[in-house]
Amino acid sequence: MTALLESISQRLDELSGRGRARSLKLPAGVDFCSNDYLGLSRHPAMAQALRSALDRRVPVGSGGSRLLRGNQAQHEALEGAAAEFFGSESALYFNSGFDANFALFSTLPSRRDAVIYDASVHASVREGARAGLARTFAARHNDAAAFDKAIVKARRAGARGVFLAVESVYSMDGDRAPLADLLEVARRRDAALFVDEAHATGVFGAGGRGLAAGLREPRLITLHPCGKALGASGALLAAPAAVTRYLVQAARPFLYSTAASPLMAIVVRHALKLIDKEPARRKRLLFLSCQARRMVTEALSRWTLLGDRTQILPIVVGGDVEASAAAAFVQSRGFDVRAIRTPTVPGGSARLRVNVNVDRTETEIAALVEILAQAEKRAG
């Protein structure tokens, strides 16, 4: 055991030396970091929905997995409401987006299939595909032609079914996927298209349904994590009924996990209602995001702002150590902005990720931009 602890300590020292050591920090300063884009996590109506459920003696915990006693009426009510909200044949509620992606890609594709994922897709998709039986291929980021070529390569290698995996809005790059082009490729090559709407649900698309909302057809599967703009937790997989039924039979992360709290299912269902009831939140967020992007572009001269037309503003600083130092400086001035480093992003592209949310003001954004300009100057 002593040798093991020494080895772990060595690894920790190496991470620190490269500026890659992670630490847990409590929220502090003005929030330009969280994914609570619409401010629903603190919405009075969400709190009231929770209080009302407790008054009705809805249990705090589910008591077991969904296949045992953990399947509660609140879970089924949410799934029914979500299927209607997202326009899908069915929906399945998971404990988190990571659980849902891991469950889907480790279960649905068989050894005779292939998974082709965007080079910038979330780690949960990659890990799920790695744990599954299908062959995997990476396609150049946001390049529909690269996906098309990868499908040809996969089929030549013997793949029968093909799953394309993308995000609609990429959390580290702040850009959008060319969903219409990808769907055209999927149709032509008879592939399934999976779209993780984590950073689009509640924000983009018709009525906040996500950027894939207008692309309804059986080959489309969408994931709607509930811990971002919906202000709660868990994730809703919207898919053909055959897909969700099969996951209930075979997806180990679903089968062997205690079900999410029925209270959370109630809160998520209420969040879906608020998306429809308060569209002004979405409009305000998009306005503030445009303002922030314009101000950052005008203020910075050396650091590179990525992304386009989203509430996520990744500012590429360079090395991990430099990004960490820049984040520490911004935090010391009262703004919560975090550094994103290797291996989450490619080496040499460590960045500050500025997330705009509806509770921010133009004055706060302007003050942050001034601090970012100072940080850039300090970095030399």
User: 43, 75, 122, 224: which is the annotated catalytic residue?
Assistant: 122
289 flagged as catalytic: no
- Alpha-carbon span 82 to 144, nearest angstrom: 29
- Alpha-carbon span 279 to 116, nearest angstrom: 35
Kindly tell me the sign of the dihedral angle through the C-alpha atoms of 86, 272, 99, 91. negative
Strand partners of residue 304: 316
43 flagged as catalytic: no
Kindly tell me the sign of the dihedral angle through the C-alpha atoms of 73, 78, 84, 90. negative
Query: What's the chain look like in SS3?
Result: CHHHHHHHHHHHHHHHHCCCCCCCCCCCCEECCCCCCCCHHHCHHHHHHHHHHHHCCCCCCCCCECCCCCCCHHHHHHHHHHHHHHCCCEEEEECCHHHHHHHHHHHCCCCCCEEEEECCCCHHHHHHHHHCCCEEEEECCCCHHHHHHHHHHHHHCCCCCEEEEEECECCCCCCECCHHHHHHHHHHCCCEEEEECCCCCCCCCHHHCCCCCCCCCCCEEEEEECCCCCCCCCEEEEECHHHHHHHHHHCHHHHCCECCCHHHHHHHHHHHHHHHHCHHHHHHHHHHHHHHHHHHHHHCCCCEECCCCCCEEEEEEECHHHHHHHHHHHHHCCEECEEECCCCCCCCCEEEEEECCCCCCHHHHHHHHHHHHHHHHHCC
357 flagged as catalytic: no
User: 31, 35, 101, 120: which is the annotated catalytic residue?
Assistant: 35
113 flagged as catalytic: no
196 flagged as catalytic: yes
User: 62, 171, 349, 355: which is the annotated catalytic residue?
Assistant: 171
Residue 130: how many CA atoms within 13 Å on its side-chain side?
7
User: 75, 224, 228, 270: which is the annotated catalytic residue?
Assistant: 228
Query: How many residues are given for the chain?
Result: 380
User: 75, 199, 224, 270: which is the annotated catalytic residue?
Assistant: 199
Which tokens go with 49? 């929905």
Which tokens go with 376? 């850039």
270 flagged as catalytic: no
User: 167, 278, 364, 376: which is the annotated catalytic residue?
Assistant: 167
User: 99, 113, 148, 196: which is the annotated catalytic residue?
Assistant: 196
278 flagged as catalytic: no
Residues annotated catalytic, as ranges: 35, 122, 167, 171, 196, 199, 228
